[in-house]
Amino acid sequence: MTKEIAPTSATEPSIAAVVLAGGRSRRMGEDKALLVARDKPLLQHVCEVAIAVAQPVAVVAAEPERYRAIVPSGCQLVAEQPGFEGPLVGFARGLAAVRADADVDWVLALACDLPCLDASAVREWQLQLSALPDDRLAFLPRHPEGWWEALCGFYRGSCLPSLQAYAAAGGRSFQGWLDRCSVAELPVRDRAQFLNCNTPEDLERARQR
């Protein structure tokens, strides 16, 4: 069980979370959200990390009921729009859901396949949010190849109109949208936190850690 972390103080920004479980898992060959690594399903682990640092938490999926048995009770299941629109549209849907419940300052976006993600590391990142300039719309790690790790980082709750406008104009690329935004780079000490399970080989590496 993920270790519980104390709630933030009144002086810290409010945090919600959106977990995306709507990918097609083509390279994996089966629904990776349900695959087990480190003694629990991938989606369950990520949801437990999210709950430890954020509230409310929305889990966006094409078939939400498929995951009810493994999603912690503190999470809200949100159905994707009909047809696979990709992670950017899924995130916009989840962001709208958590903002409907509360006016949050920041939203943690997480893919469902991060078996090495640790709540204490996310909490360390969270504590840096209050020091960011007001014009920074996102706080994300950068991959060594230069692109943003869009589904393991923070976005201002106020980014929703920009995100929806980009999607309404036909935009579906997270990197394309982020190129239009002011993004602060999240410093990373341990890149294992960002290990994605996209293939059976990735899953085996996670199981061996």
Which residues carry a binding-site annotation?
20-22, 32, 113
Extract the tokens encoding 145.
């190849």
Binding-site residues from annotation for GTP: 20-22, 32, 113
- Given a contact cutoff of 8 angstroms between Cβ atoms, the answer to whether 112 and 71 are in contact is no
Annotated binding-site members for Mg(2+): 113
Cα(27)–Cα(32) distance, rounded to whole angstroms?
10
Give just the sign of the alpha carbon dihedral 32, 33, 34, 37: positive
Report whether 143 contacts 149 (CB < 8 A).
yes
Give the Cα separation of 167 and 156 in Å (integer). 17
